[in-house]
Structure 1
Amino acid sequence: MTRLLPSDDDRPVLVLGPNPTPNGGMHLGHIAGPYLAGDVYARYQRARGRKVIFTSETDDSQTYVVASAGREGITPEELCKRSTALIQEALSAIGISIDGFGPFDQTYRATVLQYFGALHAAGVFRLKTVRLPYLERTGEFMVEGLIEGDCPVCLTTSRGGLCETCCHPNNFDQLIDPHSTINPDDKLTYREATIMVLPLEEYREQLTEYHDRLAEHRRPHIRQMLAELLSRPLQDIPITFPLKWGIDPQFPEVPGQVLNAWLELIPAGMFTTSYAAAKLGRDTVPGELWRRSENLRIVHFLGFDNAYYFCLPHIAMLMAHGDKYVWPESIINNEFYELESSKFSTSKGHVLTPQELLEEVPRDVARLYLALTAPEYQRSTFSRTGLDKMAEERLVGPWNQLAGILAKAVANAGGDAKLPVSAGGRQRVQLMLDRFDLGYEMPTFNLNRSADTVLIQIDRLRRLAVKLDGTSPEDEPEAWGDLFCQVKALLALASPLLIDLVDAARGAGVFDELPEAGPLVAGAFDLTEVTAFAPPLLAAAG
């Protein structure tokens, strides 16, 4: 074998996860989409020996924080602090390998202000007088997460600014019959306000060319959304709002206003990239690693409900900076994940957190099942019955039978033995590597397929082991060598998903024959012989 995998793009990779809003903890619906996908992709890139930065941080400026804090009767600052701890705990519990979870601190704010300030100085923004919902009782404008009504495009219930269902914007006074999300009985009126906006229509040609060029790196739902939005004039994007909560950009034309929190997320990514890089041993100025000279490829994982901002306004603002920054290459969305076929609902108590699930289910079982059922192209659901059935029939049971047969073979051979690997065995390993690469790599990345491929290969190798059971490596050295080599390859290929099993295998020396840079670097499985080993077992779900 001269080739390891079909994809050979060894550029450094920046993996961006969504910035969670700190208005509560995380449930499995959050984890099963972009966070697990980002983690699996980042782990695979590391296994390929590539330089990776995987990063995120909380989105403290969101009005959703204000609304949630108002309903709880606490300050937004208190809610952010409590929620950030819960979010980090959930990510750590399920094994999301973020290299640096950035703090919402003064360096963050300075990065955001510098990013927006450069565009303001260049005359990118425009002043515009608009009508906004207004609460007479408190004398406050009500926008974004502070209001709710009917979407003017698909008519479903929507918060202000953006509909989570159709992903169309509903800026200014477009929401139908809006009401307060803090106190629905409050009567809203409308008042005019002069704010800063981004004239998105001016970037139509650039945006169209950009997305057309990278169409294979967009899933069908995003491509549909882009086609819908680009078939009509693009709306002006509010850059500032007359609110109290948020970052004051100090634009003299709109004193006392704050930045639209949705638009902070690219400079937030620049800040967290620098923060995470420092954790990995490279000190940089925020934004430096996003410069084109760094030749990073950016992969962005997000829910479909966030896709509008990341596909249009955010890209337009990067374009407005000229050729200074690299633009995201892959924008990979997911749909909604449900709990037992009903929407996750904190208010109704219909939630399941990673911490709660892991009290009863081993982490590898949870991760594999979440990947298998992740809502990649349509809504999907978590089922505890389904998880238990998958674990017993497809994962834990078959793997432990396979591991038991291999352990017996090692014992019968009197310890670790060197076994030959045939050309046919190496060819089968190459086919495994190629197959997994389709699910792990861009633009064909797919959690469902990757998880299913793990299960398919476990069963295939279990059946091979059953056929060899009763013979010894001394009697059938090549057949056993081929089997051990394929199991070793499967462990390496399952490493982005079955993290605890693979850590146990690594600790037992299973990967000692492979390059230190990563078990899947080029040439790693050009093995003519393999050392027999007893694989670790998987724990069953409780």
Structure 2
Amino acid sequence: MSTRTVIISPAPTANGDLHLGHIAGPFLAADVHTRYARAQGREVLLGTGFQDTSTFVVTTAHRRGVAPAELVANSAAQIEATLHAMGIGVDGYTGDDDRFTKWVVDFIGRLHAAGRLEPRTMRFPYSERTGRFLVDGFASGNCPECLAEGCAGLCESCGNLVLAGDLIGVRSTVDPDDPVTPRDVDVLVLPVERYRDRLRAHFEAHAGGMRPHMAQAMARLLSRPLPDFPVTYPISWGIPVPFAEVAGQVVNPNAEPMAWSMHSSALAAESRGGTPAGEDELWLAGGGSEIVYFLGFDNIYPFAIAGPAMLLAFDGQYELPTRYLTNEFYELDHQKFSTSRGHVVWGRELAAEVPRDLIRFHLAATSPEHQRTSFSRDALARVTESRLVGPWNRIADRVNGWVGRGPLPVSARSRHAAALMSQRFAESYELAGFSLNRAAEAIADHLARLDRWPVTGADAGDFCFEVRALLRAAAPVLIDLAAVVLGENPGAEPAEVTTIAPVRLPPLAAAGAGR
């Protein structure tokens, strides 16, 4: 029986700020569930951070004409500020300090010492001009599995592992005209195929912990032999490994996820007053943790195949993650977010212009849970005005008319309605059926219902009570409105409320009115 939930939203690459595509996917969802679960009295830890070892840091820095270290420092601060601006209550925020680096080396080192990592000769594209191997973000081409255009490492379209040497039409990302040739080099790999049967059994036992697209992809990936997973890369950007047989190599950034997740959860526990004995304490088998990921579909291979295979390689020492709440891409005006083309809306900038409750509501309503969805400023203004701001402000005016005229009676019928309301929201917030879309729909539906209520003196108490019950249920999404009316810890409504003393409700400002 789990005594705590450890929630992880994979670290964004430190090559820029967070745009709405990041927020609408894993971060808002993780925050909403965490707030709900804590209101139910559960222990929940939420961790994320940033990753500076990705090769995309180097390619972005090159494109912008800045040093990679400068890009990392600026991006790390921007990411943390944007999470705060959007009300994402992260407990543990990882960085690139010595503690993390040493832990990654220790984690990989124990696999190496146990003989779980093996040398393999692998083929990589090589730039004769620069004398560098091209891996992950350094190499572009077409996925050998689904033919989609992209970089090496992970395919954003099908979720497959894409070894750089297998890219179709491979070329240098930094300089597409730079001739590249294949070259063999020895690296250390994890023979993931040895763990495929156990991975398949684990995910079959926890099939309810995946959304349909991931479940389909996992069934496909685990239905056939898995390729060796490179744990080290013959490049200089990353965390150096101390292994003589691959001297000068670094940890593959996509081999860091389990060590990073453990570190993130330890930081989260410490920030909430805990004192874990080690980076991995919350992940130990039998320790009472349920490990849950909120992540983009494109991240499933390192977090659900290679990472869990590493955990299995420790022979039962660790728990395996049991739930993966994936999301698809969130687009801007029906095109993919692109910082290089300036086709982007930054979360922090939008939060400075629009009340964040409106942003959170709209992102919840349009979150890409099962398919690509799109954001537009016009839709944000139009949808929040018709479904949130207008109805709430009319309801608040009516409640405010009864302030000072209580206590007002609350009927059994209204208490039952509030219970039904709470149940509907719980079905959207619980992990088994988690859905930001349905939570936003429930908010809009109940606001519309209350807005249509022909309140009289006889049922004013019921009306005020159900408005408060709705706000309590919507609190994980509408964090600022709930904090003003209910306080920072809304908790649960007492079971037998018979009267209510209405309190003044603040209006919501429209999109564009600022915070």
Give TM-score, length-normalised by structure 2: 0.96
Q: Is the 8 A contact 1:102 1:276 kept in 2?
A: no
Q: 2:465 is matched with which residue? A: 485
- The equivalent of 1:341 in structure 2 is 334
Partner of 1:3: none
User: 2 CA distance for matches of 1:121 and 1:381?
Assistant: 48
Q: CA RMSD in A?
A: 1.6
* Structure 1 contact 10–50 (Cα < 8 Å) conserved: no
Question: What is aligned with 1:36?
Answer: 28
Q: Distance in 2 between the 1:278 and 1:419 partners? A: 45
Alignment of 1:321-332 (within 5 A): 321-332=314-325
Distance 2:496 2:383 in 1: 33
Cα shift at 1:445 = 0.3
Give the match for residue 217 of structure 2: 225
Q: How far apart are the structure 1 equivalents of 2:194 and 2:463?
A: 60
Whether the 8 Å contact between 1:57 and 1:104 is mirrored in structure 2 is: no
Q: What does residue 498 of structure 1 align with?
A: 478
Name the CA distance, whole Å, in 2 between partners of 1:319 and 1:367.
Answer: 38
Say if 2:513 is the partner of 1:534: no
Deviations 1:108-136 (A, max 9, x none): 01111121111111111111111111011
Query: 1:121 maps to what in 2?
Result: 113
CA distance in 2: counterparts of 1:328 and 1:449, whole angstroms: 25
1:396 paired to 2:389:
yes
Distance in 1, matches of 2:429 and 2:343, equals: 32
Aligned amino acid, residue 56 of structure 1: T
User: Retained in 1: the 8 A contact 2:136–2:164?
Assistant: no
CA displacement at 1:301 relative to structure 2:
0.6
CA 1:110/1:160 → structure 2, altered by over 3 Å: closer, same or farther? same
Shift of 1:486: 1.7
After TM superposition, give the deviation of residue 320 of structure 1 in Å.
Answer: 1.3
Change in Cα spacing, 1:391 to 1:505, as seen in structure 2 (3 Å) is: same
How many angstroms apart in 2 are the aligned matches of 1:204 and 1:217? Answer: 18
Please show how residues 285-304 of structure 1 align to structure 2 within 5 Å: 285-304=278-297
Partner amino acid for 1:163? C
Instruction: State the match for 1:25 in structure 2.
Output: 17
Pairwise CA distance, 1:228:
1.6
Distance 1:432 1:525 in 2: 14
Match of 1:73 among 50, 65, 74: 65
1:183 aligns with 2:155: no
Partner in structure 2 of residue 203 of structure 1:
195
Once the two structures are TM-superposed, the CA of residue 172 in structure 1 deviates from its matched residue by: 4.3
In 1, the alpha carbon distance for the partners of 2:107 and 2:418 equals: 48
- Within-5 A mapping of 1:378-389: 378-389=371-382
Describe the SS at the equivalent of 2:121: strand
State the match for 2:98 in structure 1: 106
**Structure 1 stretches of 4+ moved >4 Å:** none
Matched residue SS, 2:431: coil
Q: Is the 8 A contact 1:16 1:301 kept in 2?
A: yes
Question: Which of these residues, 243, 253, 271, is aligned with residue 245 of structure 2?
Answer: 253
Q: Which runs of 5+ in 2 are unaligned?
A: none
* Paired letter, 2:412: A
Structure 2 matches for 1:231-250, cutoff 5 A?
231-250=223-242
Contact 1:195/1:242 (8 A) holds in 2 = yes
Spell out the pairing of 1:296-315 with structure 2 (5 A cutoff).
Answer: 296-315=289-308
Partner of 1:431: 420
1:168 & 1:324 partners in 2: Cα distance? 27
User: Within the alignment, does 1:144 sit opposite 2:110 as a pair?
Assistant: no
Residue 6 of structure 1: aligned partner: none
Partner of residue 267 from structure 1, selected from 237, 254, 259: 259
Q: Could you tell me how far apart the structure 2 residues matched to 1:383 and 1:172 are?
A: 36
- Residues 325-369 of structure 1: per-residue CA shift (max 9 Å, x gap): 222121011000111111111111111111232233211111100
Cα distance in 1 for partners of 2:342, 2:61 equals: 18
Preserved contact between residue 135 and residue 141 of structure 1 (Cα < 8 Å): yes
Q: 2: distance between equivalents of 1:179 and 1:91? A: 35
Counterpart for residue 402 of structure 2: 409
Secondary structure of the residue that 2:415 maps to in structure 1? helix
Task: Find out whether 1:173 has 2:145 as its counterpart.
Answer: no
Q: Is the 8 A contact 2:188 2:246 kept in 1?
A: yes
1:449 counterpart residue number:
438
The Cα of 1:10 is off from its aligned counterpart by 7.4
Q: CA deviation at 1:421?
A: 2.6
Q: Partner residue of 1:4? A: none
**CA–CA distance in structure 1, aligned partners of residues 166 and 451 of structure 2:** 59
Q: Percent identity?
A: 43
Q: 2:257·2:302 contact (CA, 8 Å) conserved in 1? A: no
The equivalent of 1:95 in structure 2 is: 87
Task: Indicate whether 1:51 and 2:43 are aligned.
Answer: yes
Amino acid at match of 2:425: F
Shift of residue 318 of structure 1? 1.0
Alignment coverage as a number of residue pairs = 511
Cα drift, residue 147 of structure 1: 0.7
CA distance in 2, matches of 1:530, 1:130: 71
Instruction: Give how far 1:100 is off.
Output: 2.3
Q: What secondary structure sits across from 2:438 in the alignment?
A: helix
Alpha-carbon shift at residue 498 of structure 1 (Å): 0.6
Q: Which moved more, 1:395-404 or 1:171-180?
A: 171-180
